[in-house]
Structure 1
Amino acid sequence: MRKSLTHSLVLLVAVLGLLMVPTVTAEDPMVRLILFWDEACPSCKIVLKEILPPLEAKYGAQLEVAKLEISWVANYELLLKLEKEYQIPPERRGVPTIFIGDFYLVGEEEIEESLEPLIQHYLAAGGVDYPAEVGASPTSTASENAPAIYMAYFYQTGCRECDRAEHDLRYLQQKYPQVVVESFSVVEQASLAEWLGERYGVPEDRRLTAPAVFVGQDVLLDAQVNAEELLALVEKYAASGAEPTWQGWEQARNRATERIIARFRSFGPLTVLAAGLVDGLNPCAFATLVFFVSYLTLSGRKGREVLAVGAAFTLGVFLAYLVVGLGFYKVLDLLGDLLTTLGRWVYGLTALLCAALAVFSFLDFLKARRGDIGDMTLNLPHGLRMRINAVIRRGRKSQAFVAGAFATGVVVSFLELACTGQVYLPTIVFVMSQPEMRVRALLFLVLYNLLFILPLVVVFILVYYGTGSKQLTRFLQRRAAMVKLGMAMLFAALATWLTVSVVA
């Protein structure tokens, strides 16, 4: 009797377990996908620990995820193969990346937004298998006696292209042990970059850019630094090897330094001013600008408060670039991964805000077409604006908001540093280390930064005038529909632009 009772209890527990845990029968569809990730990637950790577990718990045995860490040669080769098959543009390649059926998802935000709908789509379609064989062996590597191939790799802190280039170079070293890569900061080793650039025939306006790889008689710059091009060079030098062509370059250091200084002298004030203005209009800087202007618009702040916040934010941007130019560049090396993660969050939040403003502006356009413009001049609807104001005023005093604007200006300037001054800023930073040129370099650095913040100054002045000028208000009321439609199109374009920047 005891044996029978025990047996019955075991059967009952087994039945309950089957009811509690999702199971798959032969008829149940299954979705199999591949996630490529990297141990040093913060976004990958979020996908692994926060995004995938709830989906795996929800779909149970109907969802199978192959999680492949790209430090393994076979995994990285599979990633390269799938990127080529799926025709992923070079500027979008990176980790985390998911391949599911006929689709690929790149980046934490895209995976979080689109993965579950794709899982549901393929379950409804009867399931989908892995897009490639998982666990395949890597292709053969070179023999142990192969001659060494030396490469000089130049990087810049915060450079997204450099992040992917470093993945490619690590893969190359694992696959071909004879590859030896020596890494140099293009800012700290500007003289070496200049010397190699002249020796390899690199145009002067590209000698201090990153990423860059010099090997044998060949050089790869910017987007050319990718796994396919690097593999081709390894095959080219597999039999003969490639000596470190930069050995003994110290004898020519003074000459290389003089060329950088000569190029710096050729800039002239107008050249530096133009460079600062152009860099101040780039996507990264414009994302920063839109972030605060949008927030000020949403919060309903006006007049002097806008000027105070704008001045604090602009001062933060100016001082951050000035400090970097004065030689505190090494601090950014310690924050490389953190800056990349913060940058994606800032641009992602800005994109969402721009998308919301595009919707509100289009709704205002429809109201204006009907002649209802009483509650939309340069603002959100009255009720929403009052609720936002109430939240802000309960949580922050004006002084704290100004301080927050200054701190944000500093932080976001570090985030956008890699998108600005690709030639001029590294040159000025290097020349600052030359005592005889320090005063002129400091002057040029100040001029560059002043023109860099000019778009911010103009926009904040326009916001101040727009929120405090009755004449402008009356003008906008007369042309409300046209203005609101233009704003909707502008914010929609910005949201798209920033989203592409995040997932790229």
Structure 2
Amino acid sequence: MRRKSQLWFLLSLAFITFPSFSTEIVFFHEVGCPHCARVQELLDQIRQDLPELVVRKYEIGELGSFVLLERLLSAYGAELGPVPILFVGDVALVGDTFYGLGPQPEVLPGRVGEMTLEQVIREAVATGAPSPLERIPQIATEVVFVRAPGDRELEELLLKWTARYPELGVRELFPNDPADERRFYQLLKQYRVQGDPPGLFVGEAALIGRELHILGQAPLPWPSPEAQAALEAELARAIEEKALSPLARVELLEQLTIPAVVLAAAADSVNPCTFAVLVLLLGTLIVAGRRGKMLAVGASFISAIYITYFLMGLGIFTAIQTAGVQRPF
């Protein structure tokens, strides 16, 4: 009987369909670029035969996309050039120039380049090539940048930061987008500041207009030497401690609703040890013939537990604030 069960188990494995691993392409394009449109058509045709192929598209005009592009170019040993720019497997395509086909870059324009790109993609899928994004350093923390028309100061500052800190991620918000505008005002509320774009948020710091705000400190005028030094120090601390992204903090705060707190408190209140002590105490009173004191003793026990937990929570919260540990909310 045991051998039959083992045989059925082995036969059932033959009918199990294991998930296939996907191959990623990182594709940088520009709105209105005809060459980008042609590459997109080619990718669509290839994906009809290779559904496991995943294409991640980035608009090169966005600051976060440009930062990612610079990191990928550095990882592939390629130079910045015209779009379309594409990374797959061990090969990078910048305009008509291929990096990774051989020891030197090769320029293959027109149909020859398209056939070469298709061959490279099919080989990457066949060999299960890892995602190009795995070549860049892991992001330690994230800075949120809110763009304003005509402003270049913060953008240049971010480009310097990303060149100095490869592990720094950049997330850009656009005020003309309703969803991004809502996130911007949520960030203002989170950091307890007011103002209009441009803005920058990282760690415990918020740079809005001409003032730098760091939680728990007095505002500093920007761009004074004191403010620049304070912002650089906060950036270094956030990277070293892998601080939570400002947008992640907002999402956590949104999840911290009254029903969630009530449900968490109800779940935490189910304490078997407390119930055991309460039952033992009340049982002792019953055996001792002091039933009249059960209500008073039970209420005193519950009140003592509540006061103890409250004081413990207040003490932990005060200790965290005094120690200056980062606050996620």
Do both share a fold (TM > 0.5)?
no
Under a length normalisation based on structure 1, what TM-score does the superposition of the two structures give?
0.22
Q: Which has the higher strand share?
A: 2
TM normalised by structure 2 equals: 0.33
Relative to total residues, which structure has the larger helix share, 1 or 2?
1
| Larger relative contact order (Cα-Cα within 8 Å, sequence gap ≥ 6) | 1
Please identify the structure whose Cα radius of gyration is greater.
2
